[in-house]
Amino acid sequence: MKQTVYVLGAGASYGDTLRMPDEQRWRQVCKRDATTKIDPATATNPPLITGFFDAKYLWWSYPERIENLYPEMINYIRRRWGIKGALGTDDWLNVNLEDVFTSAAIDVEFNPPGTNAHAKSQLLLNQIKRHVSFVLGCCTICRYGEHSRALVNALDESDTIINFNYDLLIDQELIPNVGYYFLPREGAYQYHNFADVILDKPINDFPRSKALREENTGSGLYLKMHGSLNWTTCTNASCPRSASIEIDDVFHSLLLRNSPTGGPPRCETCKGEVSTVLVPPLLNKPIMHSPIFRNIWSNALHALRQAQKIVIIGYSFPPTDFYTEWLFRSAWSDPDTQVQIVNPLNNPDHPNQKERERFVKTMQSLFPHGYDSELTTFDQMDFDKS
C-alpha cells in the first residue's frame, strides 16, 4: 500500500465540477436556514485570488448592498487601491485578496491595542473574513465536487490530505453517512482524526463520527492549513473559548451565520462575537503563534516526510508564500518519493508564459529529483493506485 499525500490549492476547487445533489431538497433547506436567495442554476465555482470582488460573485447580495453592509471594507479598498468604479466592475476585477488581507492585517498589528485605530482595523479585518466566507459558502455549500468526491473515494487509511483552501468541498465528503441529506458517504476517518490528533478533543464531542471512529484506525489525516469556513473561535481574549476552535459539521447553517444581513454569531460562554478561523494568505503567517496551527503544520511536515507519493493539485506556490515553500523544502529528502503536479501551468502553451516560467523554476527548485508534470486539470486525475 502506497502512502499518498494530496495537496490541494484554490485551483482544485476552481477546477472541480460542482453538482447539485437534490435541487428540491437544497431549496427547502437553504431557504429555511439562510437569509439570502441562491439560484443553483447560476451558481459558480469558487473564485481564485482576484475574483472575490467580481460582480458574478456578488449577485446574491447585490453589489450596492455589499457597499452598505461593509462600508469600512469597500472604502478601505477604494482609498488604498485608488478604485473609483462601481463595485464588481472595472478595476474591482483585479483586486487581489492577498493584497487586501495583508494590508488589513498589518494595520491590526501596527495600531496599538486599546486604541480606536486598532478597533477599527480589527473590524475591517472581520468584515473581509465574513465577505470571503459568504462568497465561498454561496459557491459551494449544498453542492458537491465530482473530482473531490472521486479523490475521497480513492483514499486509503494511511493517506493524508493537506488542504490550503477554506471551502468545504472535501470536508463534506469526509463526514460519515448518518442521515445527512445530500452526502452519501460510507467512510470518513480523516475528518474526526483531525479532532483527535490536532485539537486533542474527545471523540464524544463529535457524535456523528463516534461510531465510525471506533471502526477505523487509519493514520491518514485531513489538515486544513489556513483554517476553514466551519471553524470558529471567540474574539474575546479573556474568554476560555478564545484559545480553542469549534467545528460545525452542519454546513448549510454556515450560510445564515456568515450572511452579511445577519448579526455576528455569539459565543455560548461570554456572548462575545465569534469569528470564522481563516488564516489570511499573508507574507507573514501567524501560524507559529497558535498552538493549534503549529500542530497542524507540524503534522503536515511529518506526513510529507513519510509520503511515498505526493500529488499537488491546483496549488501554484505563489512567490510570497514562504511558509509553504519552507514546508516542502524541509520535508523533501527521499529521491524515491514520487511527485505529481496537476496544474494548468504545466501546459507549455499556457497564455501566461511569465507565470508559467516562474512556476516551473519553483517546481524544479522544490523537487530537484524530478516530478511528473503531465496533467493540467483535476478531471484528468486517475486515482487507481494499483
In sequence order, what are the residues at sequence separation of 6 or more whose Cβ sits closer than 8 angstroms to the Cβ of residue 221?
Answer: 160, 161, 190, 193, 194, 197, 198, 299, 303
Q: Is the pLDDT confidence value at 338 over 80?
A: yes
Q: Is the pLDDT confidence value at 198 over 80?
A: no
Backbone phi and psi for residue 265, each to the nearest 5 degrees, phi listed first? -65, 155
Q: What is the pTM of this model?
A: 0.84
Give residue 153's pLDDT: 81
Task: Report d(CA 334, CA 305) in Å as an integer.
Answer: 8
> Average pLDDT of the chain?
78
Compare 92 and 194 and report the one with higher pLDDT.
Answer: 92
Q: Is the pLDDT confidence value at 185 over 50?
A: no
CA atoms within 13 A on the CB side of 368: 6
Q: Residue 111 — very low, low, confident or very high, per pLDDT cuts 50/70/90?
A: very high
Q: Is the pLDDT confidence value at 188 over 50?
A: no
Q: Is the pLDDT confidence value at 259 over 90?
A: no
Name the residue type at position 306: Q
Which of these ranges, 133-147, 166-180, 267-281, has the smallest mean pLDDT? 166-180
DSSP state, residue 171: G
* Segment 53-85, tens digit of pLDDT: 888 887 666 677 788 888 899 999 999 999 988
Give residue 194's pLDDT: 55
How many residues can be counted in the chain? 386
Q: Is the pLDDT confidence value at 180 over 60?
A: no
Long-range contacts, 32-36 (Cβ 8 Å, 24+)? 33/252, 33/253, 33/255, 33/256, 34/252, 34/255, 34/256, 34/259, 35/256, 35/259, 35/261, 35/262, 36/60, 36/61, 36/138, 36/255, 36/259, 36/261
Give residue 173's pLDDT: 78
% of the chain exceeding 90 in pLDDT: 26
